[in-house]
A = this chain, B = another copy of it.
Amino acid sequence: MKELIRFGERFFDELEIAIYRTRGVSASIELNEISMASVKSRAITIIRGINEKRLGLAIIDSEEPERIKEAIETAAKMARLNSRDGKWDSLPEPGKYREPLKPNKELKEASPDQLVEMVIRGIKLAREKDPNAVVAGGEGGVIWEEKHIVNSRGVDVFQEGGMAYIFFELVGRKGGVVTPGIFDFDARRDLNLDVEGVVERVVRKVDWAYDVKASKNEEIPIILGPWAIAGLLSYALFPAFSGERLVKETTPLAGKVGEAVASEVLTIYDDPFHKLSIEPVIADGEGVPTRKNILIEKGTFKGFVWDNYWAKVYGTESTGNGKRDLRSGGINIGFHNVVIENGKKSFEDMIGEIKHGYFVDGFQGAHSSNPDNGNFAVTANPAYLIEDGEVVGSSVFLIAGNIYELLKQASEVSKEVTVMPFMTAVTTPFIRFEDVKIAGK
């Protein structure tokens, strides 16, 4: 790699070479059957070179030195044709990295047969527990990743690791009722996925969904589940923590460091080294050391997160939140493992304490939330009606609101946490919110 950096310095003031090797193994479900088993591996090299503040960026799916040299030349040609970016400062310097976690090598060698067996076990179990349910979809998979990031300022970080995930989607049919697709998930850094737990949870929710109840306009307590929370916050809240948005004046959190933006029961941080993290990276996508970044502590907003470019534009330091987009090759500000701190009360007890309210498992339409102001309008589906401390059926309703108002209505977080492996990885408890206005549908 050193030699390739030297080669690149003929063309660039500074450059970065990032190599990503990934191996993904998966088994997918369609209508009670395994529809596909797959093994895919690839190596991608991304060259980012800067010459007189002109950027060149090339991507190839190879790690052969000759091909990397060609890619450097392509990036150099591109940089010559591009205009100067006056805001460019420099690539990151090396930092002080934590000791990496010992990677679990069984994930590196995972076979599709292991996943096929695990998924079949889940399908059988689900159909035994509920003969009226169809396992409409789902997937078990293992992803192994090796990342090597080197730049001409001395950064040279290699990391490797893996994660496994599983999810099932059930649709129940009973007495004329067809439930919506109902999901549950597990994700972790070893192969001991909790298939039984996932199936138990999803079957219980399907059972609740057979009894369809009308919803009406009212203000009631609701408990949001992990899937609903991850979906809503990923679109309505998390982008607002981006330093790029602070610079571009598109975050409602500007000027609010130290202010209460949520209820005191909420503490949210990004921590790749959290014990349940599925991405325990010691360095981000451009080689900056990662750390625990507190976003909200007991309701108080603690600060923004940054990548190298926007931190230098703003005159601060990268918080290690430069995430590499392997499609575009670029670096975007993002999170490694968002954790919403859990509490002491069980989910059961939280339901038991609600006289009249809902447990919302999923939201539709969260992607059209507006992170510039936190406004959202979503359909709660599936949502489960709670009466006198028990779930008595399922319903659908609308919530239109503002995420910062909602966060202030939070009153309790559960003991149980779920790791949501998609989009932004989020580890979250169930959260209860008071006096939420819903519109019946």
Contact = CB atoms under 8 A, between A and B. Distances in A.
A78 B42 contact: no
Contacts of A75: 37
Most buried by B among A67, A116, A120: A116
Contacts of A74: 37, 39, 111-113, 116
A164 to B, nearest CB: 17
A114 to B, nearest CB: 10
Interface string A52-94: 0001111111100001000100110110011100000000000
B116 A77 contact: yes
Contacts of A36: 57-59, 328-330
A369 interface: no
Contacts of A117: 81
B55 A39 contact: no
Interface stretch (A26-34, A226-234, A338-346): A26-34
B55 A40 contact: no
Given A36-B58, A38-B60, 16 more contacts: A33-B55, A33-B82, A35-B57, A36-B59, A37-B58, A37-B59, A37-B78, A38-B329, A39-B58, A39-B61, A39-B71, A41-B61, A58-B112, A74-B111, A74-B113, A74-B116
Nearest to A61: B40
Given A39-B71, A60-B40, A33 B83 contact: yes
A117 B35 CA distance: 43
A40 B120 CA distance: 34
A34 B80 CA distance: 10
Contacts of A78: 27, 34, 37, 116
A82 B32 CA distance: 8
12 contacts: A32-B83, A33-B83, A35-B330, A36-B57, A37-B56, A38-B59, A38-B329, A40-B60, A40-B61, A74-B113, A81-B116, A81-B120
Number of this chain's copies in the assembly equals 2
Contacts of A39: 58-61, 67, 71, 74
Given A40-B60, A40-B61, A42-B42, A34 B116 contact: no
Nearest to A81: B120
B38 A81 contact: no
Interface string A129-162: 0000000000000000000000000000000000
A286 to B, nearest CB: 16
Nearest to A41: B61
A56 B35 CA distance: 7
A223 to B, nearest CB: 30
Contacts of A27: 78
A190 B40 CA distance: 31
Given A33-B83, A116-B81, A40 B57 contact: no
A58 B3 CA distance: 40
Interface string A248-282: 00000000000000000000000000000000000
Contacts of A62: 41
A285 to B, nearest CB: 15
Given A35-B330, A113-B74, A116-B74, A59 B40 contact: yes
Nearest to A112: B74
A60 B23 CA distance: 11
A398 B319 CA distance: 45
A212 to B, nearest CB: 23
B42 A61 contact: yes
A68 to B, nearest CB: 11
Contacts of A113: 74, 77
- Top 5 closest pairs, chain A to chain B, by CB: A38-B59, A40-B61, A33-B82, A74-B112, A81-B120
A39 B328 CA distance: 12
Nearest to A328: B36
B83 A328 contact: no
Contacts of A59: 36-40
Nearest to A26: B59
Contacts of A71: 39
A116 B59 CA distance: 13
Contacts of A40: 59-61
